[in-house]
Amino acid sequence: MTTLQIIFIAIVALLHTYFLILEMFLWTTPKGIKAFGLKSKEFAEETKVLAANQGLYNGFLAAGLIWSILTSDFEIAIFFLSCVVIAGIYGAYSTKKIKLFYFQSVPAIIGLVLLHF
């Protein structure tokens, strides 16, 4: 893998590590509530178990991307970047928040494009 490929894969992995932290540990804090546009602290409390589960999945995506960097395995990188793209598309569609696509899918798409050069 080239340095540029590794950098973009690492950016996506770091983003998903950040999402894990927000969803698993900061969901009910002002930072988590603001980041996800939650309607109230009470709503955040009611949904924190679901958010933690979602955060765990983001952690798996980050782990897979880190694994691809450590092993320099293009196929693993392509698989996990593709999962991130799909998750971002579905997240943007299901929540009607296009910014999810830009934050989640676009960096992964750039990483996928870079892997083909």
Report pLDDT digits (tens) over 34-53.
999 899 999 999 999 999 99
- Indicate if the pLDDT at residue 117 is higher than 90: no
- Structural domain span for residue 56: 3-115
Q: What is the pTM of this model?
A: 0.91
Q: Report phi then psi at 82, rounded to 5.
A: -65, -40
User: Helix 106-115 crosses helix 74-95 at what angle (to 10 degrees)?
Assistant: 150
Overall domain count for the chain: 1
Q: Are 62 and 30 in contact (CB under 8 A)?
A: no
